[in-house]
């Protein structure tokens, strides 16, 4: 089961799972893209789509009913769907609706997946893994102009760690893993996530987009600041995530040594009561 698997990184995961012979259910809110992806991948294995809004508990519960009724089990749950409230900007300029939408999908979406699937996965008595997609932005250190998104991803890394411990402590055969999409610049639909924003959670005040919030601008910013701006292939990234799960890793990500170095710098600052360094600015 892959949420947000119709496109981007989730689609890469779906393709890798199909290559490995898994039976895959894709849950995604964007019905036309979901339909097109399922048709394109149909020749490569057993795959079907269920239109789902992960931010709505009832929608995810209906998804779990569907998966357990038709597939009989769920061994791998990828809580991957995510959005960014977008536009960058200062934390005090983010609206309540930015928080509601971003946390609705990124945090409640993962919580809903956990609540609807994990008890049934445990009850099945079969082994399984819950893989939550976080981000280095927030999961490791916040990018200051992405405060809402970073806060949502910090919650996912935190939740997944707690979940992993509790799944072991409860003696289950289910494990948890956290995935940090990384390895290069990711040209996905995240940059245009607003396309899926419900009208009820639209911004109420116009806000000019902050610099660096389109894919092209972000790429230029990386190049200008001497950082690598090489594209990461999304199929390869999906394969990397699935292989990480197969290898039993709790943390799945490229550049973990660099992340650890950043965490050491953060820890030094925290130990001295100082503001930790900004991740990217």
Ligand X SMILES: NC(=O)c1ccc[n+]([C@@H]2O[C@H](COP(=O)([O-])OP(=O)(O)OC[C@H]3O[C@@H](n4cnc5c(N)ncnc54)[C@H](O)[C@@H]3O)[C@@H](O)[C@H]2O)c1
| Between 89 and 132, CB nearer to ligand X | 132
Binding pattern for the stretch 214-253 against ligand X, x by CB under 6 A and - elsewhere: ----------------------------------------
Q: Please state, as a whole number, how many other Cβ atoms lie within 10 Å of the Cβ of residue 277.
A: 12
| Between 49 and 89, CB nearer to ligand X | 49
Rounded to 10 degrees, the C-alpha dihedral 94/100/106/112 comes to 170
Instruction: Please list the active-site residues.
Output: 149
Report the candidate in 59, 75, 73 with the shortest Cα–Cα distance to residue 17: 75
Q: Please report how close the Cβ of residue 170 comes to ligand X at its closest, in angstroms.
A: 26
Q: Please report how close the Cβ of residue 59 comes to ligand X at its closest, in angstroms.
A: 8
What's the rounded Cα separation, in Å, for the pair 115 and 212? 36
Of 2, 16, 28, 89, the one binding ligand X (CB under 6 A) is 28
Of 1, 4, 22, 142, the one binding ligand X (CB under 6 A) is 4
What's the rounded Cα separation, in Å, for the pair 142 and 214? 18
What does the DSSP 8-state code read for residue 231?
B
CB 201 within 8 A of CB 104: yes
54 forms part of the interface with ligand X (CB under 6 A): yes
Q: Which positions from 105 through 124 interact with ligand X, judged by CB under 6 A?
A: 105
| Between 122 and 220, CB nearer to ligand X | 220
Q: Please report how close the Cβ of residue 229 comes to ligand X at its closest, in angstroms.
A: 12
From edge to edge, which strands make up the β-sheet containing 76-79? 47-51, 24-28, 2-3, 76-79, 128-133, 174-180, 251-253
Binding pattern for the stretch 149-188 against ligand X, x by CB under 6 A and - elsewhere: --------------------------------x----x-x
């Amino acid at each position: 089961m892959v949420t947000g698997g119709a496109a981007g990184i989730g689609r890469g995961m779906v393709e890798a799972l199909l290559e490995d012979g898994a039976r895959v259910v894709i849950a995604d809110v964007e019905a036309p893209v979901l339909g097109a992806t399922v048709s394109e991948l149909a020749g490569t294995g057993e795959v079907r789509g269920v239109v789902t809004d992960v931010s709505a508990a009832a929608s995810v519960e209906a998804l779990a009913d569907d998966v357990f009724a038709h597939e009989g089990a769920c061994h791998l749950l990828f809580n991957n769907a995510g959005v960014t409230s977008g536009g960058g900007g200062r934390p005090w300029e983010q609206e309540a609706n930015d928080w509601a939408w971003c946390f609705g999908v990124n945090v409640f979406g993962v919580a809903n997946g956990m609540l609807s699937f994990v008890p049934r996965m445990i009850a099945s008595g079969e082994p399984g893994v819950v893989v939550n997609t976080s981000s280095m932005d927030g999961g490791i250190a916040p990018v200051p102009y992405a405060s809402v998104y970073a806060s949502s991803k910090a919650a996912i890394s935190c939740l997944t760690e707690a979940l992993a411990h509790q799944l072991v402590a409860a003696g289950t055969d289910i494990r948890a893993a956290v995935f940090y999409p990384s390895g290069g610049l990711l040209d996905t639909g995240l940059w245009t996530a607003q396309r899926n924003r419900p009208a009820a959670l639209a911004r109420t005040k116009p806000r000019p987009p902050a610099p660096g919030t389109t894919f092209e601008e972000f790429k230029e910013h990386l190049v200008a600041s001497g950082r690598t701006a090489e594209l990461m292939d999304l199929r390869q990234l999906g394969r990397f995530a699935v292989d990480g799960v197969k290898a039993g890793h709790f943390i799945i990500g490229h550049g973990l040594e660099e992340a650890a170095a950043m965490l050491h710098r953060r820890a030094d600052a925290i130990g001295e009561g100082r503001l930790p360094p900004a991740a990217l600015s």
